[in-house]
Amino acid sequence: MSFGGVFDLAGLRARHEEIESEMARPEFWDNRELAEKTSRKKSELEGEIGLYDGVEASLEEAGILLELAAEADDDGSRREAAEKFSQVAAILEGAELRQLLGGEYDHSDAIVSINSGAGGTDACDWAEMLLRMYLRWAERRGFRSEVIDVQSGEEAGIRSATLSVAGSYAYGYLNAEQGVHRLVRISPFDSQARRHTAFASVTAIPEIDDDVDVELEESDLRIDTYRSSGAGGQHVNKTDSAVRITHLPTGTVVQCQNERSQHKNKATAMKVLRAQLFELSRREQEVRMAEIRGEKREIGFGSQIRSYTLHPQQRVKDHRTDLEVGNVEAVLDGDLDRLIRSALLAHSTSNRTEP
């Protein structure tokens, strides 16, 4: 079975063996951060290899079932074979999606920021709904997510939130979610039960490794500590050691309040700041290169990307692809893969057809 040269099975197995040998060394866990990164890479490789092995095994089982069905004229075996083929189709669809994620940082973990926009209290509530949606999406995919910072709204919901999502190609997937998300519904905060529209923005940046060079001068930083003022609950641990770091030359501000230790909050905030400054520099360079090449197109996926309508009808519409999904509750519960796949396919096709 071949994946057309794109899927280097022999290379993946060789790299997996190298990592296993590396992890067997007695001193492997001396550098815990590096060890955890290597362990995650091992898990990613096992997932890639398992994909091939799973497809091969399912096709073999389906072939055997078809042979049995032909010999015994057994409809049950035919149905089982059809189910196996459906499973293979789903696996290959996922593999196809992964092939679209060929960007330099698509394989990286992600740092996601959600900010309420126009719409008052409804917008703050909407931002909190989006936060839950992405946490549930990460959980569905088996990714590790952590809320780094939450700023509560005055009456309900949140004004903003920052979360990290760790998993294979987390940034590649979540990059497709960047833009403005629009909610239309009967407002639970309106005593007259009128329909309201609320907006929130989502941004995603890749989490960068420590060996990526980002210039940070101590004199360019203002570091403030404050008491955590989050809403508490499952997302935030209230502490007296929240940290806010301001990068004075760019005005970039990051905050962290999820740890009880001020030292840990500062370390996490510095990690987010490095990632944000790196992404800022990367995007500025992309814009300059586009100008040099005479390109007029906007860098990124666009502004208002999706509408979630709860009244009068129930639907989610992606404005980049015109894809509509009727089960809004499932989407808000983290069932985003179909929408993400559609956006990535459209973006990939657009890049291929541009002169």
Instruction: Give residue-wise pLDDT tens across range 224-278.
Output: 988 776 544 444 445 467 899 999 999 999 999 887 788 888 989 988 998 999 8
Q: From the DSSP assignment, how many helices (H) and strands (E) are in the chain?
A: 8, 11
d(CA 232, CA 239): 10
Q: Name the amino acid, one letter, at 157.
A: G
Its sign, for the CA torsion 347, 348, 354, 355, is: positive
3-class SS at 80?
A: helix
Of 209, 239, 211, 210, the C-alpha closest to 227 is 239
If one compares 319 and 76, the residue with the highest pLDDT of the two is 319
Q: Which one has a higher pLDDT value, 177 or 297? A: 177
Query: Confidence band (pLDDT; 50, 70, 90) for 69?
Result: confident
pTM: 0.72
Domains plus CATH for the chain? 9-100 (1.20.58.410), 110-353 (3.30.70.1660)
Average pLDDT over residues 151-172: 92
pLDDT digits (tens, 9 = 90+) for 37-58: 788 788 878 877 887 787 788 7
Q: Which residue has the tokens 């360019």?
A: 220
H-helix or E-strand containing 243? strand 242-247
Q: Where are the alpha helices (DSSP H) in 112-260?
A: 120-141, 170-174
| pLDDT tens figures, 213-238 | 787 888 889 999 887 765 444 444 45
Beta bridge partners of 254: 245
pLDDT at residue 65, rounded to an integer: 76
Q: Name, of 57-61, 164-168, 216-220, the range with top average pLDDT.
A: 164-168
Six-digit token pair at 142? Answer: 């088996």
Q: Give CA angle at 228 (226, 231), nearest 5°.
A: 155
